[in-house]
Amino acid sequence: MSVDLTHLIGLVKTSKLLTDDQRKEWLQKMETMTEQQLIRLQDILGRGERIDWATELPKYEAALQQTEAVIQQSISV
Amino acid sequence: MVYIESPDQFRNTTKQKLDELKTAIEAVANESKTIDLAKVALSDAPMKAKADALTVRAAQLKIDFAAKIAEIKAYFPSDAGVLAATTELSARVEKILKDSEIGKLKIELDQLAAEVTPGAVPVAGVKKLGDLVEAEKAAVVGAVVPLVEDMQTPQEVDAGKSAFQKMGLLKYQPMFKMALSLYSTWMSFNRLMCMGDQACVQGVDGKLKGFQDQYNSFFGLPEFRDGFNAILEKKGISVRPGRDDAVAFARLKELKRQNPGKSSDDLIAEIAQEYAGIKGNKTNHVITLSGILFGRDSTEFPQKTLIGDAASSVKIKDAAGEQTYNVKVKGDTIMVDGKSFKLQSEDGSPLEFEQAEFWKKGDIASLFLTVTKEGKRVLSLTLDSSDRVTAFLKGLKSGASPDLPPGVSSAWFGFKSVPIVIKLVSA
């Protein structure tokens, strides 16, 4: 697997995994990242493009809810 | 290449080069740095809003999680108890989040972000450089380059200095140096992107080398100039950038070939001492590298243009003794002892010889050829020794088409180079 810089910049600019502030941070970060790190970023964001967001977002929301509940209850574990 | 240009040509090329450099640097900078969020087109805006909201919620959750860990620490009396409880909690939270695709990807992103160490930003300051170029550019227009290679009187020295300062050339050197360093960084970034693809790596390296060569031909090999400066400054002589620096380097190479036993440093020291000796006690003396290398009579250095309606006779010494070639260059044709060759480009566009200069001092001959396409220079060929000039002319005389290096169309510093294959074919 290799990095296509233009493609990666495009992914960072549009990925729903990132908020707008995070986009800017990643674009800055990219300039100091190693080849392997860039590959990983491209891989993660690439997988983010391929998931079905309509199905996955509610799942993620449910996971967050569950996590919130776990954290709330954890003191009595 | 900057030699053998008239002051006007030189001034115009400098300005043109600065314009091109500025555009190229800005393009590179914009590619990686600029992000106009207003223009980020997300087809599913509501989905993005929802995703953003969840990201914010997840961030809050992280804060809550840290608070909870602190709470646990306060609750458990022993360290072992804290560890067991927090590990268990972390594992549960991670497992829940990893069950969702988005959660999994976000965890990976967080891990990656934690690994990236903040460091130098390679293309920082680029805009600033662009602005600087813009501001200095105006000074280039109207400035005059002194034609005198070796300025003798204090008035001439001052005139030369002020002309160069006005032109900003001395100021440009550090700027170009900076551009070179920025470009190197950008290219090493690009090199990474090649991922071991050799053809790609070579392409990037080629571009970088082109840039470096241009820089060196413009401002001189740094160690070369520094060597001269170190010796001559002690004697009240300073070296300024000259239009013929590239010729001077060619001359130094020739001298090195003639003195194979001498190190480059020794050779430089010797030439500089010799020059200082000729100049005697003159101080506040500003000269160019070619001024040093060709001695005090640099203005008398015989230079002959081969372009014209009549053939010029060119005498070069080779192993068999002195040879004479009758050379005529006109339009797209070069003729050597009756054999004619025409310039031909791969794409059929018309080419023309712009310059064909023959230089000779003692037994050392050099030949400079430049070729233009639609008025723009695409090839600059330096044959910097008698051997190379002889090989070139002898080849043509025998009717063999010589190999020319590839030309470059509309390029500067290798940024936007379009290679162009140029041939000399028998006419």
ipTM, interface predicted TM-score of the complex: 0.91
Mean pLDDT of A17-31: 79
Extended beta strands in B184-260, E state: 237-240
What is the residue whose two structure tokens read 């909201």?
B53
Q: What is the DSSP letter of B119?
A: -
- CB count in 10 Å sphere of residue B156: 14
Q: Which residues in chain A are contacts of B103 at CB distance < 8 A?
A: 60, 63-64
- In the predicted structure, residue B338 carries a pLDDT above the cut 70: yes
**In degrees rounded to 5, what are phi and psi of residue B382?**
-115, 115
Digit-coded pLDDT (tens) for B345-374: 888 888 999 888 887 766 777 787 888 887
- In the predicted structure, residue B118 carries a pLDDT above the cut 60: no
Mean pLDDT of A53-69: 89
Q: Determine, for residues B40 and A62 on separate chains, whether the beta-carbon distance falls below 8 Å.
A: no
Digit-coded pLDDT (tens) for B370-426: 888 877 777 777 776 778 888 899 999 998 888 887 776 654 433 445 678 888 998
A34 in contact with B at a CB cutoff of 8 Å?
Answer: yes
Q: pLDDT category, B240, cuts 50, 70, 90? A: low
Euclidean distance between CA atoms B389 and B223, whole angstroms:
27
User: In the structure encoding, which two tokens stand for residue B12, read together?
Assistant: 């115009």
In this structure, are strands B364-373 and B312-318 parallel, antiparallel, or unpaired? unpaired
Euclidean distance between CA atoms A30 and A43, whole angstroms:
14
Q: Determine, for residues B72 and A29 on separate chains, whether the beta-carbon distance falls below 8 Å.
A: no
Digit-coded pLDDT (tens) for B254-291: 677 777 787 767 777 777 666 666 555 444 455 566 55
CA B99 to chain centre: 53
Euclidean distance between CA atoms B109 and A40, whole angstroms:
9
B63 three-state secondary structure: helix
The pLDDT, as a whole number, for residue B292 is 60
Q: Determine, for residues A61 and B54 on separate chains, whether the beta-carbon distance falls below 8 Å.
A: yes
Compare B88 and B119 and report the one with higher pLDDT. B88
Give the gap in angstroms from C-alpha B176 to the nearest C-alpha of chain A: 22
The pLDDT, as a whole number, for residue B417 is 53
The pLDDT, as a whole number, for residue B254 is 66
Residue B45 carries which side chain, given as an amino acid letter? A
Q: Determine, for residues A32 and B116 on separate chains, whether the beta-carbon distance falls below 8 Å.
A: yes
User: In the structure encoding, which two tokens stand for residue B120, read together?
Assistant: 């130098």
Residue B60 carries which side chain, given as an amino acid letter? Q
Give the gap in angstroms from C-alpha A26 to the nearest C-alpha of chain B: 8
Where would I find the H helices in B234-340? 245-258, 264-279, 289-293
Q: Which residues in chain A are contacts of B117 at CB distance < 8 A?
A: 32
Highest mean pLDDT among A68-72, B3-7, B152-156: A68-72
Give the gap in angstroms from C-alpha A60 to the nearest C-alpha of chain B: 5
**In degrees rounded to 5, what are phi and psi of residue B235?**
-100, 15
Q: Determine, for residues B117 and A28 on separate chains, whether the beta-carbon distance falls below 8 Å.
A: no
Euclidean distance between CA atoms B95 and A67, whole angstroms:
9
Q: Which residues in chain A are contacts of B70 at CB distance < 8 A?
A: none
- In the predicted structure, residue B326 carries a pLDDT above the cut 90: yes
- In the predicted structure, residue B244 carries a pLDDT above the cut 60: no
* Angle at the Cα of B214 from the Cα atoms of B213 and B218, rounded to 5 degrees: 115
The pLDDT, as a whole number, for residue B175 is 53
A7 in contact with B at a CB cutoff of 8 Å?
Answer: no
Digit-coded pLDDT (tens) for B34-91: 555 444 545 567 778 888 888 888 888 888 888 877 777 777 767 777 777 778 878 8
In this structure, are strands B285-288 and B364-373 parallel, antiparallel, or unpaired? unpaired
Q: pLDDT category, B160, cuts 50, 70, 90? A: very low
Which among B57, B116, B123 has CB closest to A64? B57
Mean pLDDT of B198-225: 67
Euclidean distance between CA atoms B94 and B65, whole angstroms:
11
Residue of B nearest to A54 (CA): B47
Give the gap in angstroms from C-alpha B158 to the nearest C-alpha of chain A: 46
Compute and round to an integer the Cα radius of gyration of chain B.
Answer: 31
- In the predicted structure, residue A9 carries a pLDDT above the cut 50: yes
Is the distance from CB of B54 to CB of A56 less than 8 angstroms? no
Q: pLDDT category, B343, cuts 50, 70, 90? A: very high
Is the distance from CB of B324 to CB of B315 less than 8 angstroms? yes
* pTM for this model (two decimals): 0.35
Q: B320 to each of B27, B258, B316, B324, B325, how far by Cα in Å?
A: 55, 18, 10, 12, 14
Residue of A nearest to B38 (CA): A20
Q: B393 to each of B247, B334, B337, B382, how far by Cα in Å?
A: 20, 10, 9, 13
The pLDDT, as a whole number, for residue B341 is 94
- In the predicted structure, residue B142 carries a pLDDT above the cut 50: no
Which among B75, B102, B115 has CB closest to A60? B102
Q: Which residue in A7, A35, A64 has the most chain B C-beta atoms within 10 A of its own C-beta, making it the best mutation to test that interface?
A: A64
Euclidean distance between CA atoms B35 and B17, whole angstroms:
28
Q: Could you tell me the sign of the dihedral formed by the alpha carbons of B379, B417, B218, B257, in that order?
A: negative
Is the distance from CB of B294 to CB of B361 less than 8 angstroms? yes
Q: Which residues in chain A are contacts of B64 at CB distance < 8 A?
A: 68, 71
Q: Determine, for residues A35 and B105 on separate chains, whether the beta-carbon distance falls below 8 Å.
A: no
The pLDDT, as a whole number, for residue B46 is 76
Question: What's the mean per-residue pLDDT of chain A?
Answer: 80
Give the gap in angstroms from C-alpha B174 to the nearest C-alpha of chain A: 24
**In degrees rounded to 5, what are phi and psi of residue B375?**
80, -5
The pLDDT, as a whole number, for residue B355 is 81
